[in-house]
Structure 1
Amino acid sequence: MLFKQRTEELNMKLNALAQSFIGFSFIAALTACSSSGFERTNLNQANQRYHAILLQQEPVTLNSSIPEGAVTGASFGLFTEIDGDSEDMISGMLAGALVGSVISAVTDGSNQATRYRFYNQKKGEFSVVSKQKFDKNVQCVEVHHTNKIKLYAVDSEFCRLTREDNSVKAIYGGKLQRIGTNAWHPATVIVKDELIIAVNPTSQEIPAGAQLIDGRGTWLIPGLVDGHVHLSQSGSAFTRPDMIGATHIHSYGDDQSWLIDQLPSLLEDYVSLGITTIADLGGPTKSLHVRNQLNCESHCPSIISAGELISATPVPALNGAQGPTFLNTETSAEAIAAVKMQRQFGAKISKFVFTSEAGLSPSQLDKLFSPAINEAKSLGQIIAVHAQDLDYAKAAIRAGADILVHGVMTAPVDDEFIELAKTLNVTYMPTLTAYEHYLDIFKRQLTFSEFERQFGDHYIIDSFAQLNENLSATDQMFQLFTRYVPFVDSSEKERSSLTPQEQSIVAQLETLFSERILQIQVANLFTVANAGVRLGFGTDAGNPATLHAYSVAEEINAWQHAGLDNLKILHALTEGNAIAYQIEKKQGSIAPGKSATFNLLTQDPLQNTNTLLAPALVIANGNIIDLQENK
Structure 2
Amino acid sequence: MKKILIFTLCFFAYYSNFAQTYITNTTIIDVENQKLLPNQTLVITNNKISNINSSKKITIPANATVIDGTGKYLSPGLTDAHIHFSQNGGIYTRPDVIDLQKFVPYDQEIEATKTNMEDKLRRYLQNGITTVFDVGASYPFLKQRNDFKEAAFAPTIFITGPLATTYEPKVYENFQDDTPFTLTKTIEEGIKSVQDQLPFKPDFIKIWYIAGADGLSIEESARKNIPIIKAIIDEAHKNNLKVAVHATERITAQLAVENGADFLVHSVVDEILKPDFIQLLKKNKTILCPTLVVMENYNKSLGQELEFNLYEFEKSDAFQLGSLMDLKHITDTTLVERYKNIVQSKNAKEKTIRDEKNMLANLKLLSDAGVTIVTGTDAGNIGTLHATSYQAELKMMQKSGMTNWQIIVASTLNGAKILDKEKDFGSIAIGKNANLILLDENPVDDLKNLTKINKVINKGVVFNPSDLVKDTPEILVQRQLNGYNMRNIDAFLEPYAEDVELYTYPNTLIGKGKENMRKNYTQMFENTPNLHCELKGRIVQGNIVIDKEQVKFGNKFQDATVIYHIENGKIQKVYFVK
State how far apart, in whole Å, the 2-side matches of 1:213 and 1:462 are. Answer: 37
Structure 2 residue 32 is matched with structure 1 residue 194: no
State how far apart, in whole Å, the 2-side matches of 1:298 and 1:415 are. Answer: 44
**CA 1:183–1:334 in structure 2 vs 1: closer, same or farther (change >3 Å)?**
same
**CA 1:289–1:609 in structure 2 vs 1: closer, same or farther (change >3 Å)?**
same
1:362: Cα distance to partner? Answer: 3.0
Alignment equivalent of 2:226, drawn from 337, 344, 366: 366
Aligned amino acid, residue 585 of structure 1: K
1:526: Cα distance to partner? Answer: 1.6
Alignment of 1:392-403 (within 5 A): 392-403=252-263
Alignment of 1:470-485 (within 5 A): 470=330, 472=332, 480-485=338-343
1:546: Cα distance to partner? Answer: 0.5
- Counterpart of 2:127 in structure 1 is 273
> Which digits, 9 at most, give the CA deviation of each residue in 1:438-496, with x for residues without a partner?
12234332222322122222321221221232262675xx754333332234xxxxxxx
> Which digits, 9 at most, give the CA deviation of each residue in 1:340-366, with x for residues without a partner?
221211211100122212445333332
- Counterpart of 1:101 in structure 2 is none
**CA 1:435–1:324 in structure 2 vs 1: closer, same or farther (change >3 Å)?**
same
CA RMSD of superposed structures (Å): 2.3
- Counterpart of 1:185 in structure 2 is 38
1:382: Cα distance to partner? Answer: 2.1
Alignment of 1:556-575 (within 5 A): 556-575=394-413
State how far apart, in whole Å, the 1-side matches of 2:23 and 2:78 are. Answer: 19
Alignment of 1:217-228 (within 5 A): 217-228=71-82
1:253: Cα distance to partner? Answer: 1.9
Structure 2 residue 257 is matched with structure 1 residue 405: no
1:205: Cα distance to partner? Answer: 2.8
Aligned amino acid, residue 436 of structure 1: E
1:552: Cα distance to partner? Answer: 0.4
- Counterpart of 2:508 in structure 1 is none
- Counterpart of 2:487 in structure 1 is none
Partners of 2:110 and 2:178 within 8 A in 1: no
Structure 2 residue 24 is matched with structure 1 residue 172: yes
- Counterpart of 2:461 in structure 1 is 623
Partners of 1:235 and 1:542 within 8 A in 2: yes
Partners of 1:233 and 1:239 within 8 A in 2: yes
> Which digits, 9 at most, give the CA deviation of each residue in 1:389-408, with x for residues without a partner?
00111111111111111110
State how far apart, in whole Å, the 2-side matches of 1:295 and 1:471 are. Answer: 43
State how far apart, in whole Å, the 1-side matches of 2:152 and 2:287 are. Answer: 32
Partners of 1:335 and 1:372 within 8 A in 2: yes
State how far apart, in whole Å, the 1-side matches of 2:17 and 2:402 are. Answer: 41
TM-score when normalising by structure 2: 0.73
1:600: Cα distance to partner? Answer: 0.8
Aligned amino acid, residue 339 of structure 2: F
- Counterpart of 1:614 in structure 2 is 452
Aligned amino acid, residue 346 of structure 2: V
More displaced 10-residue stretch of structure 1: 175-184 or 518-527: 175-184
Alignment equivalent of 2:380, drawn from 542, 545, 564: 542
Partners of 1:287 and 1:322 within 8 A in 2: no
Alignment of 1:50-199 (within 5 A): 166-178=18-30, 179-199=32-52
**CA 1:586–1:296 in structure 2 vs 1: closer, same or farther (change >3 Å)?**
closer
Partners of 1:316 and 1:324 within 8 A in 2: no
More displaced 10-residue stretch of structure 1: 577-586 or 457-466: 457-466
Structure 2 residue 195 is matched with structure 1 residue 340: yes
1:510: Cα distance to partner? Answer: 8.0
Alignment of 1:251-330 (within 5 A): 251-294=105-148, 299-318=153-172, 320=175, 322-330=177-185
Alignment equivalent of 1:416, drawn from 276, 300, 319: 276
State how far apart, in whole Å, the 2-side matches of 1:205 and 1:606 are. Answer: 27
Higher-Rg structure is 1
Aligned amino acid, residue 467 of structure 1: L
Residue aligned with 1:370, SS: helix
State how far apart, in whole Å, the 1-side matches of 2:408 and 2:200 are. Answer: 32
State how far apart, in whole Å, the 1-side matches of 2:296 and 2:371 are. Answer: 24
More displaced 10-residue stretch of structure 1: 243-252 or 465-474: 465-474
Aligned amino acid, residue 463 of structure 2: I
Residue aligned with 2:131, SS: strand
Partners of 1:431 and 1:555 within 8 A in 2: yes
1:626: Cα distance to partner? Answer: 3.8
Partners of 2:29 and 2:76 within 8 A in 1: no
Aligned amino acid, residue 276 of structure 2: E
Partners of 2:229 and 2:256 within 8 A in 1: no
Q: Where in structure 1 are there 5+ consecutive unaligned residues?
A: 1-163, 490-508
> Which digits, 9 at most, give the CA deviation of each residue in 1:89-115, with x for residues without a partner?
xxxxxxxxxxxxxxxxxxxxxxxxxxx
- Counterpart of 2:416 in structure 1 is 578
State how far apart, in whole Å, the 1-side matches of 2:79 and 2:115 are. Answer: 24
| Identity across the alignment (%) | 28
Aligned amino acid, residue 143 of structure 2: H
- Counterpart of 1:7 in structure 2 is none
- Counterpart of 2:488 in structure 1 is none
1:260: Cα distance to partner? Answer: 2.2
More displaced 10-residue stretch of structure 1: 421-430 or 442-451: 442-451
1:207: Cα distance to partner? Answer: 5.2
Aligned amino acid, residue 342 of structure 2: Y
Partners of 1:248 and 1:474 within 8 A in 2: no
Alignment equivalent of 2:368, drawn from 511, 520, 530: 530
Aligned amino acid, residue 203 of structure 1: K
- Counterpart of 2:11 in structure 1 is none
- Counterpart of 2:344 in structure 1 is 486
Alignment equivalent of 1:598, drawn from 429, 436, 447: 436
Aligned amino acid, residue 28 of structure 2: L
Partners of 2:245 and 2:263 within 8 A in 1: yes
Alignment equivalent of 2:59, drawn from 206, 231, 235: 206
1:306: Cα distance to partner? Answer: 0.7
Q: Where in structure 2 are there 5+ consecutive unaligned residues?
A: 1-15, 470-578
**CA 1:444–1:207 in structure 2 vs 1: closer, same or farther (change >3 Å)?**
closer
- Counterpart of 1:553 in structure 2 is 391
1:624: Cα distance to partner? Answer: 1.4
Aligned amino acid, residue 380 of structure 1: N
1:165: Cα distance to partner? Answer: 9.2
Alignment equivalent of 2:86, drawn from 207, 232, 244: 232
Partners of 1:339 and 1:372 within 8 A in 2: yes
Residue aligned with 1:391, SS: helix
1:434: Cα distance to partner? Answer: 0.5
State how far apart, in whole Å, the 1-side matches of 2:131 and 2:206 are. Answer: 18
State how far apart, in whole Å, the 2-side matches of 1:203 and 1:560 are. Answer: 37
**CA 1:230–1:602 in structure 2 vs 1: closer, same or farther (change >3 Å)?**
same
- Counterpart of 1:35 in structure 2 is none
Aligned amino acid, residue 571 of structure 1: V
Number of residues paired by the alignment? 446
Aligned amino acid, residue 340 of structure 1: Q
Structure 2 residue 242 is matched with structure 1 residue 382: yes
